[in-house]
Amino acid sequence: MECRHCGNQLTIIFADLGKLPLSNSYLSSTDLKEVEKCYPLRVMVCEECWLVQTENIVEVEQIFTEDYAYFSSVSTSWLDHTRRYVDQITVMLALGKGSMVVEIGANDGYLLQYLLKKGIPCYGIEPTHSTAEAAREKKLDIIEDFFDAAKAKELADQKRQADLIIANNVLAHVPDINNFVKGFSVLLNPHGVATFEFPHLLNLVQFNQFDTIYHEHYSYLSFTAALNIFTYNNLAVFKVEEVSTHGGSLRLYAQRADSGKRAQENSVERLVEKEADAGMTTAAFYSGFQNRANAIKEDFNSFLQNAKKEGKKVVGYGAAAKGNTLMNFAGVDSDLISYVIDRNPAKRNKFLPGSKIPVVSEDRLKSDRPKYVVIFPWNLKEEIVEQLSYIREWNGKFLTSVPRLKVE
């Protein structure tokens, strides 16, 4: 296989999780009668540009379907994060009624709603019908399509260029990463700014976050790899911040390389050095990750088997894609985890892909009073523990498995 950015031949295997179903393809009761499709999930490392990427591409149309069930607004902590970002970027760029902001991957309008409240003109691009409709219900202007260089040119020709383009947790979701990033330099005004947030590969490796690997994440990005991709596609990064979301992410600030006027800040060079010191531009950094993933899988499975033997009920919280990766990699089904609770109505009364564990409302937790609640979206652990603190009334305990098994 050739690298999707630079074309170099890939030989280093980072992780191989076997054949798994698509992690956000939730099943109806009718679907349970059908044979579920599974796809290889193997991730490779490019030794030329250091982009880490899935080996086999599942077509985006198979993943981002009409009934795509990931709605960003479900998480209150994520909404708080985006509200703070909007306040900050509004001041930084002096955004106002004469500005134009575009969000790529606008989802259900979780972020654009705050710009709308400030009276700042904006629109979003979102390929999934379910989330696009939710955004429109917030009175937002949504273009229901995928974004690439051709779409950017079409919008620029319509005089819809942007002073700010936002892309939160989208960069990993595109198979043709060059075509995608190129679109930003096409759609940006000459002195415009684009911001990108994505999980930092450094944390994924150091904290064993293998459950964030799934088919819709085509790329796993270091800052070094992102710089290579952006430079190739006429974007210059002038600032970077490390943020806590999604287990540790990066927020990059970029401008057109041919017309941007902002000076590069010291944060850029500091992070390049930090990654180099960690060894991220050496093959050795990526070795051993598979063994650590295997160890987590075995510990998790062993715990569940022992709980079953002891007659202690285990349920899950958060029908998250990362939980589906963990459970399907570990071979867990409803025999070991009775059900998973989720606040998202689009997921309830369905079944998890692969494991076929039912997704139910929180009321079930209160009536069943299980001994253990597995928190699958561990990045939202504090929010969930606070929300479900009442399980302490019956001596219930929380369980997380990444970066290592922990019961508390």
Cα pseudo-dihedral 358, 302, 42, 241, rounded to 10: 80
> What are residue 164's phi and psi, to 5 degrees?
-145, 130
Residue 71: pLDDT over 90? no
Give the HSE-up count for residue 56: Cα atoms under 13 Å, Cβ half-sphere.
15
Instruction: Give 305-359 as a DSSP string.
Output: HHHHHTT--EEEE---HHHHHHHHHHT--TTTS--EE-S-TTTTTSB-TTT--BE
382 — pLDDT class (breaks 50, 70, 90)? very high
Cα–Cα nearest to 315, from 273, 281, 275, 366: 366
Structure tokens at 94: 């002096």
* 345 CB-side CA count, 13 A: 3
Residue closest to 8 by CA, chosen among 53, 60, 42: 53
390: helix, coil or strand? helix
Domains within the chain, CATH numbers bracketed: 72-286 (3.40.50.150), 301-407 (3.40.50.720)
* 121 to 89, 92, 102, 140: CA distances (angstroms): 14, 17, 9, 10
Residue 279 φ then ψ, to 5°: 90, 20
Residue 240: per-residue pLDDT = 98
Distance, CA of 349 to CA of 27 (rounded, Å): 9
Residue 62: band (very low, low, confident or very high) from pLDDT cuts 50, 70, 90: confident
Core vs surface per residue 196-207: b (16+ CB within 10 A) or e: bbbbbbbbbbee
pLDDT of residue 14: 98
d(CA 127, CA 145): 4
DSSP letter at 59? P
- The widest CA-to-CA distance across the chain, in whole angstroms, is 66
Per-residue pLDDT, 237? 98
Q: Please report where in the chains the tokens 């949504």 appear, as a residue.
A: 142
What percent of the chain is predicted at pLDDT more than 90? 93
When the pLDDT of each residue in the chain is averaged and rounded to a whole number, the result is 96
Torsion 383-384-385-390 (CA) sign: positive
**At 193, which helix (H) or strand (E)?**
strand 188-199
pLDDT confidence band for 42 (50 / 70 / 90)? very high
CA dihedral of 358, 359, 361, 363, whole degrees rounded to 10: 30
pLDDT at position 68 over 80 = no
